[in-house]
Amino acid sequence: MATKNKTMNISTEVSGILAKLTLKEKIALTYGANFWQTIPMEKVGIPTVMMSDGPHGLRKQNTAGEGADMLGVQPSQPATCFPTGVCIGNSWDVEVASSVGEAIAREANAQEVDVFLGPGINIKRNPLCGRNFEYYSEDPYLTGKLAAAYIAAAEAQGSGTSLKHFAANSQEHRRFVSDSVIDERALREIYLRGFEIAVKEGKPSTVMCAYNKINGTYCSDNQWLLNDVLRKEWGFEGMVVTDWGALNDRIKAYQAGCDLSMPGGGAYMATAALAAVGKGTLKESDIDACAARIIKLALKGKIRPPQAAAVDYDAQHELARTFAERCAVLLQNNDSLLPLNESTSLALIGSMATKPRYQGAGSSLINPTRLSSLSDAMPGVPACKGYHEDGSTGDDLINEAVQLAGKAEVAVICAGLPAALESEGYDRCDMKLPEGHNRLIEAVAKANPNTVVILYAGSAVETPWAEKVKAILYMGLPGQAGGKAAHNLLYGKANPSGRLAETWPLRYEDCPSAATFGQRDTLYMESIFVGYRYYTSAQVAVRWGFGHGLSYTSFKYTDLVIDGLNIDITIQNTGAVPGAEVVQLYLQAPSGKAFRPLHELKGFQKVHLQPGESRRVHFTLSAKDFAIWENGWVVMNGSYTLIVCGGLDSGNVLTTVYEMKDEQPEPQGELEGNWYYCLKGKPDQASFEHLMGKPYQASQSTKGQYSFSNSLEEMRKDSRVMAMMYNGVKQHLTKALGSDNAVQDSPAFKMILAATVESPVRNLVVSGGIDEDLIGGLIDIANRHPLQGLSKILQSKRKPNR
């Protein structure tokens, strides 16, 4: 009752405030004030909303000027760097996800941040996406459940979250302009489903719309995405904020229900929006709705615990360690080499043991309060570097490692992806580890049969040496306490209980999206066959499957009972040490008219058990769990196999059958004969066009039709003025940051370059504060309308305060 009254009070207050604002003020409110804050309007009682990046820690920066950026290049306040998204995904543990959300909210409250920008839950469509380390999984159900737990826990602390990047934003290449071309079934079942669960169950204060287009329409302009699906279908009542610089067309964005454009500093198309209301082409009520949602969020900020308790950063660090332990995946453990004995003599090899790889670059880069390395946790253990920071190695380094490994009972190698290979802003070029790491592992494994590899990477990598080493422990990018966590796992002080949240293919070419990933316009030709949905259905062998992970103990599955849609099973720890098992529930649909993957995850639970202990685990399914999307959710009748297991490739797999009857209407399929039915080879364009119901037409940016949505990079080829600007920006950057190879290969250089020359020129207005008429004039000149262009440029020069 109290909550209902509070909600009613806020709505009345919002309407009261809105009535006092002029149209111009309401428009102003829909742009940020600076890099991180919304505009306060004190005279009517609207406070500012302060935002800072997440998702695995707080990146609180200065609000404007030199200290603010969206690429993680400028410093931020120290904060706890928790395990990154890849680890949360691998935890398969809603308790971990919710504790991370809660722990970040504690720091947000103490640092007076109203909304932190996370979680990021885009689907890991392809291992090469540069931001996979921030995301959870290739599976929407696992993603959605973890995100919902994180969001609900953070919001319960009075902190706002921003669920991002909505939607279908699964690559970094040309991220500001790319078009994700996807059939509606794949959108609904794969790319939107995680968001749907997170919105409905987690109730985030805000959702961040992505940079990219979906089927030709920018997310910020997308009525179907924001109004129809997010708000009307899913009941989202919060605010939609653009990703930083993702606003495409302010008028369309109002109509779509895209409320706030960030970062602030410019007011792109504000004049046009005002004029559109005058002309009757934009309804004032659309602007009111956006402004109202911003006011509502600003008022909600008032309910943050006023004197937020001081944060105990030592305790937060310890939490980060326990989370990292609960997220690690033991991929392989031949002859039970792990856990190690305290008395075993070791060689610690690889510079990641001393300089840990623990987070990725970009907007999520945290300035950690402290940092634990594996070598700090193992003082006195003989160690050597093995490779250089860029991943290369040399005979001297290899020889040193081989010598050291030869003298020890067990060789422990820390290997993975160097920081420059994994970042926001660009994708990886291949799925390989650096040549130097592979060479080192091969050489050490030859010298010592008892070799353990500890892997640090935000997504799957090829492991051609897997059969030559005994144990492989995958830490993901485990956050600031990852060193101590790896130590505890090696020695069995913690028992690994993570499971892979994405498939590790044998080689990149095996990925269903290998041929189409990373184009400017990306055809999601594989449709719903993403990750394990493809590999198990097409029977393509993988290195380690989705849901795979080992433990230092063993589990037994018995007494599977099904009663209607209720499923119960007993799990027992049959080993000698405490451990946690991830019980997974998959659905296998009967064959019917519509194509369907062989396995679909519909439930999971992490169960902690003492040696000998057993527990009854319960799942409840709903009709929607059986449904596919065919112009709505529809359920196919027939016998469904329900698989309860500790991973599809584990020794523990029990099955039962559920008879689905009398659900109407049945899906029609209608596509028999194309790739989706046979899964032979790779998806082809003809099958995809059949699925889309129309031929694909590439969106070409052509000479004469350039707009604010085109980038300098695109226009320079046939416009001298744009080519000059492009070269100017590059030269300026090189001068500011440095011209040597190390700088030009650094994530910062690549990201800044992409954010300027590859992003639509409107961003020079939205985030760069450059006058709209000046850029408009240059576009006119590029379109061969020099007089019109010059007149706009002069107009811009005549404006006051420039």
Q: Which residues of the chain form contacts with ligand BGC (CB under 6 A)? A: 53, 70, 117, 164, 243-244, 363
* Size (the chain), residues: 802
Q: Which is nearer to ligand BGC, 244 or 268 (CB)?
A: 244
Place of tokens 């006092």: 20
Angle made by CA atoms 435, 440, 442, in degrees to the nearest 5: 95
Q: Is residue 19 within a helix (H) or strand (E), and if so which, with residue range?
A: helix 2-20
Q: Which is nearer to ligand BGC, 205 or 393 (CB)?
A: 205
Provide the minimum distance between the beta carbon of 31 and ligand BGC in the complex, in angstroms, as a whole number.
Answer: 15
Provide the minimum distance between the beta carbon of 156 and ligand BGC in the complex, in angstroms, as a whole number.
Answer: 22
Provide the minimum distance between the beta carbon of 244 and ligand BGC in the complex, in angstroms, as a whole number.
Answer: 4
Q: Which is nearer to ligand BGC, 499 or 762 (CB)?
A: 762
Task: Evaluate whether 53 touches 244 at the Cβ level (below 8 Å).
Answer: no
Q: Which is nearer to ligand BGC, 82 or 244 (CB)?
A: 244
- Report how far apart, in Å, the C-alpha atoms of 426 and of each of 129, 210, 518, 531 are: 8, 15, 10, 21
Q: Which is nearer to ligand BGC, 325 or 424 (CB)?
A: 424
Helices 435-447 and 395-407: crossing angle in degrees, nearest 10, is: 30
Q: How many angstroms separate the CA atoms of 435 and 391, rounded?
A: 7
243, 249, 625, 780: the active-site residue: 243
- Catalytic, 243? Answer yes
Question: Checking DSSP bridges between strand 555-563 and strand 566-573, what pairing results, if any?
Answer: antiparallel
Provide the minimum distance between the beta carbon of 134 and ligand BGC in the complex, in angstroms, as a whole number.
Answer: 8
Q: How many angstroms separate the CA atoms of 72 and 244, rounded?
A: 13
Q: Which is nearer to ligand BGC, 53 or 714 (CB)?
A: 53
Q: Is residue 453 within a helix (H) or strand (E), and if so which, with residue range?
A: strand 451-456
Provide the minimum distance between the beta carbon of 643 and ligand BGC in the complex, in angstroms, as a whole number.
Answer: 36
The candidate with the shortest Cα–Cα distance to 535, out of 523, 522, 548, 549, is: 548
Task: Evaluate whether 784 touches 109 at the Cβ level (below 8 Å).
Answer: no
Task: Evaluate whether 9 touches 300 at the Cβ level (below 8 Å).
Answer: no
Provide the minimum distance between the beta carbon of 105 and ligand BGC in the complex, in angstroms, as a whole number.
Answer: 16
Q: Which is nearer to ligand BGC, 243 or 713 (CB)?
A: 243
Q: Dihedrals φ, ψ of 367, to 5°?
A: -95, 95
Question: Checking DSSP bridges between strand 213-214 and strand 217-218, what pairing results, if any?
Answer: antiparallel
Angle made by CA atoms 192, 105, 124, in degrees to the nearest 5: 30
Q: How many angstroms separate the CA atoms of 10 and 669, rounded?
A: 47
Q: How many angstroms separate the CA atoms of 225 and 72, rounded?
A: 29
- The count of other CB atoms within 10 Å of the CB of residue 754 is 21
- DSSP class of 226: I
Q: Which is nearer to ligand BGC, 244 or 586 (CB)?
A: 244
Provide the minimum distance between the beta carbon of 518 and ligand BGC in the complex, in angstroms, as a whole number.
Answer: 17
The candidate with the shortest Cα–Cα distance to 18, out of 7, 31, 29, is: 29
Contacts (Cβ under 8 Å, ≥6 apart) of 383: 347, 348, 349, 353, 354, 375, 404
Provide the minimum distance between the beta carbon of 501 and ligand BGC in the complex, in angstroms, as a whole number.
Answer: 20
- Report how far apart, in Å, the C-alpha atoms of 423 and of each of 85, 299, 362, 457, 721 are: 13, 35, 6, 11, 31
Q: How many angstroms separate the CA atoms of 34 and 546, rounded?
A: 42
Q: Which is nearer to ligand BGC, 68 or 289 (CB)?
A: 68
Task: Evaluate whether 173 touches 516 at the Cβ level (below 8 Å).
Answer: no
Q: Which is nearer to ligand BGC, 142 or 361 (CB)?
A: 361
Q: How many angstroms separate the CA atoms of 240 and 159, rounded?
A: 16
Provide the minimum distance between the beta carbon of 585 and ligand BGC in the complex, in angstroms, as a whole number.
Answer: 32
Provide the minimum distance between the beta carbon of 192 and ligand BGC in the complex, in angstroms, as a whole number.
Answer: 18
Q: What ranges in 261-350 are assigned the alpha helix state H?
A: 270-279, 284-300, 313-327
Q: Active-site residue numbers?
A: 243
